[in-house]
Every structure is written in structure tokens, then in C-alpha cells.
Structure 1
Amino acid sequence: MQLFYNPDIDQNTNQISFSKDESRHIVKVLRKNSGDQLEITNGKGWLFIAEITTADIKNCDAVILSKSYQTSRGYKIHLAVAPTKMNDRYEWFLEKATEIGIDTITPIICDHSERKVIKNDRFEKIIQSAMKQSLHYYMPQLNDAIAFKNFISKPFSGQKFIAHCEETERTSLKNALQPQTDILILIGPEGDFSSEEISLAMASGFKPVTLGNTRLRTETAAIVACHSIVFCNE
């Protein structure tokens, strides 16, 4: 199954025109012709079955034959993860978290962050590609980078956790999770959160948790957290 993504269509759309790049991919790379069918999502839960009416490498058109809606699950996963020093590690996290099932990602700039500038354009493309590859019909939301202290003051109605490595009292994440509840988890940079950040987060209602007995890299910790939440809700 080859899933396409178009955020501009909805349940009222009856026909679609693909961009020049997508048209070229459909007609020249995938060798699709008039009469062939395509599966398209808008990243908002809808799946559209469309039939190609014009197979042109510069302007491919299709008519919508059917549409179906996949209801979202009963909980949301929001990971606020500090950018890694090497971009490819963060990109790996974005790809795998999207495949597992994540709803929102927020890059947080921390006291020990070595990377403080984020280029969302490439990250968005990685998320989009992973969504299509894993056949998800919901596009995860990637927020702009924000300072840690500004982020933790934002309201959140579900469970809030901070995963850190300090040898202080912490609860195992798997034991703290409540099924079918929105979850927000803070994951720090390579140098971990500072003691001040941990204290500020706890004062803002974040519960300290551990993800296991070993010290994990930022991107690994984020994936472990994401998978733990999904597994808890299976």
C-alpha cells in the first residue's frame, strides 16, 4: 500500500490535483495510469480512495471514490524532548516515535542543551514520510522550539512527568501511567536536566520518573517513553 498525504483535502473534497513533484512521482516513478487507484490521507484521520483521471507528470488529477474516518484513540502522547547535538539522532527519534504513535512533539531548550536552533522544515518532512510509511492517518504536530522554563508553565490536563537521571526519589514510568489518559513527558539533553530545572518542573506539577536501570541517550529515552505509553494502553 502506497499512502499519499495532502493536508488540504477534507470530507467534502471530490477531486484532487497533485503538485508537480507528486505528479512526477505518481506517473514516472510509480508508473500509475488513468484508472489506477491511490490512497490518500489528510493527516486528520481521513482516508480517501481516489482514481486517477489525468496521468501527466506535471499535473496528475484524481477523483475521490470513497472516504472513511478513523477515530483517534482515547489518549494523546506529547513528548517534549531537548534537541540532540547531532541532528540525525533527533531525526531518528522523530521517525520512530511517529511509527510507534505520537501526537505532539515539542523541542525544549534546556540549561545543558548544546543545540539551540531548530529547523522544522526537515523535521516535518521526516514526520510526514514516517506517517505515510507506517500507514497512520494522523499527522503528529511538531511545535516550535521553546525554552524549558517557558514550556513547563503551559497548562496541560493529563499526567505530567519529567524523566531525569539524578539519584533522587523517582517512580518507574510504567508503574505511574494511567491508561487512556493524556501524557506529557519531558526528556532532557545529553547532559540531563539541571537540578534547578528538575525542581522547577516538580513545582509545576511534573512527577519525576525513571525509564529503567541504564543511562539512556536522549533519543533512546524518548522512544522508550513513547513505547511504554502505547504498550500500557494496548
Structure 2
Amino acid sequence: MPHTFYAPNLAAATYLLPEDESKHAIRVLRLSLGDAVDLVDGVGGIFQAEVADANPKRCLLRVTSEQRVPRRAYAVHLAVAPTKNLDRMEWLVEKATEIGLDRLTFLRCARSERRELKLDRLEKIAVSALKQSGQAWLPQLDELTDYSAFISALEPATSFIAHLAEGERIALSQVAARGANCCILIGPEGDFTPTEIQAALARGLQPVTLGESRLRTETAALVAVMIANFCR
């Protein structure tokens, strides 16, 4: 199977790999002139290419064919309060990208353990997962967003809040399939506050449950992504 490289904004018949990727391709993977590779641009394009110049500093690839993968009929948007341990968010980004995710927003909630977040490494992990899984669309990763501002911009009919407080909740699997799009909110380890839950309900978001178990933040987030994908 050909090696896959990420080629954002690819719009020409050739693509020049960055220096670090060139070195990896030639020195580590030992690609040589004429070897086949795959390229993915993260916006639906999958390309077959070959090595046109096996330079370890400036490896040039020539595109030989192109496939366009349309977006699916529904979009999965996950909004989650990031954990204090960033490794757990890195794991979530990797696995959610592999399964299929359109957008990931990080929420700043009252009980959030992490108040700041840099996306650079998370974006690299998403790209790596994109290449590994054969996906064509890279999920959009949003900066930390204040909870109140976020829910005010949502479409209530297709937005769901998963919380652990008392009250009537319906299984996400029963409601996610009703709309073309789906946005699921997952709170921090201490859950959303009563005020945050009430604000979401007042906005029209639907309260949902992910099952009987009490899940960690990143586990709950991944379960939500799986349900949103596989209950269609």
C-alpha cells in the first residue's frame, strides 16, 4: 500500500513536500524516483502521485490521478470541555478523526480543568489520523470557546447536551438520527453546572444520555461520536 502524505491546498499537477516530510520520505521510507504515493488534502481530495525528484530536502511529487470524495449527508459536531491532562484530548482527537468527525469545539465551562489550549499539536494528530484511516475530510478544530457564547449560536433542534444531573433524558441513539446534522456537548469531569444545564435547556437543546455508565470526559466524547455516526 502506498505511503500517504498530507497536501493541503493542492491545486497543481505537482506537490513539493516540506523539508521534514522530504527527509522522511527519502531517508526513512527510502522512496525513489517513480515510486507511488498517495496524497490527501483534507477537503475531499485523494490523489495518486509518484516521486518526480527524490531529493531529501525538496522531494517533488507528480500527481497522476485524482478522486473527489463528497461530504456525507450529515455533519457530526462535538463540543467538549478539555481535560487537564492533554494526552487524553490527543487520544480523543486521534480516535474521533479515525471514526469520522466534522468539527470539534473546545468549551470553556465553569468547572473546566483547562483554561488555555494550543491547537498546533492537536491539528498534527488529526492530520496523522486522517492519513492512517483513509479519511478524505479533516475535522475543523476550534479554539477554546466560552460556553454561553457557544450555546447561543447553536441550532437547538439538532443540538444535544449530555449531562449527569437528575431529570428526563433520552438516549442519544434515539434522537441523533432524526436530523441531518448533530452537535453534542460533553462537559468537564465535574459535569456541567446546574446553571449551564438550565441555560442549555432554556435555549432548546435536548438533554441526552450515553448509557448507564459514568464515563470520563474523553470516553463520553468518543462514545457520542460513535453513536452519531453509527445510529444513522
Q: Same fold (TM over 0.5)?
A: yes
User: Counterpart of 2:72?
Assistant: 73
User: Counterpart of 2:8?
Assistant: 7
TM-score, normalising length: structure 1:
0.96
Which runs of 5 or more residues in structure 1 are unaligned? none
Q: Secondary structure at the match of 1:152?
A: helix
Are 2:106 and 1:98 equivalent residues in the alignment?
A: no
Q: Which moved more, 1:173-182 or 1:41-50?
A: 173-182
1:156 positional shift: 3.1
For residues 109 and 183 of structure 1, what CA distance do their matches in structure 2 show? 20
Q: 1:27 to 1:189 in 2, by over 3 A?
A: same
1:179 positional shift: 5.0
1:169 positional shift: 1.0
For residues 55 and 158 of structure 1, what CA distance do their matches in structure 2 show? 53
Structural mapping, 1:46-61, within 5 Å: 46-61=45-60
Which runs of 5 or more residues in structure 2 are unaligned? none
For residues 157 and 125 of structure 1, what CA distance do their matches in structure 2 show? 32
Q: 1:179 to 1:208 in 2, by over 3 A?
A: closer
* Percent identity between the two aligned chains: 45
Structural mapping, 1:1-234, within 5 Å: 1=1, 2-10=3-11, 13-156=12-155, 159-178=158-177, 181-233=180-232
Q: Secondary structure at the match of 1:225?
A: helix
Q: Secondary structure at the match of 2:61?
A: strand
Q: 1:202 to 1:73 in 2, by over 3 A?
A: same
Q: 1:158 to 1:37 in 2, by over 3 A?
A: farther
Q: 1:32 to 1:157 in 2, by over 3 A?
A: farther
What letter is aligned with 1:178? A
CA RMSD of aligned residues (A): 1.2
Q: 1:49 to 1:207 in 2, by over 3 A?
A: same
* Conserved 8 A contact 2:160-2:206: yes
What letter is aligned with 2:149? N
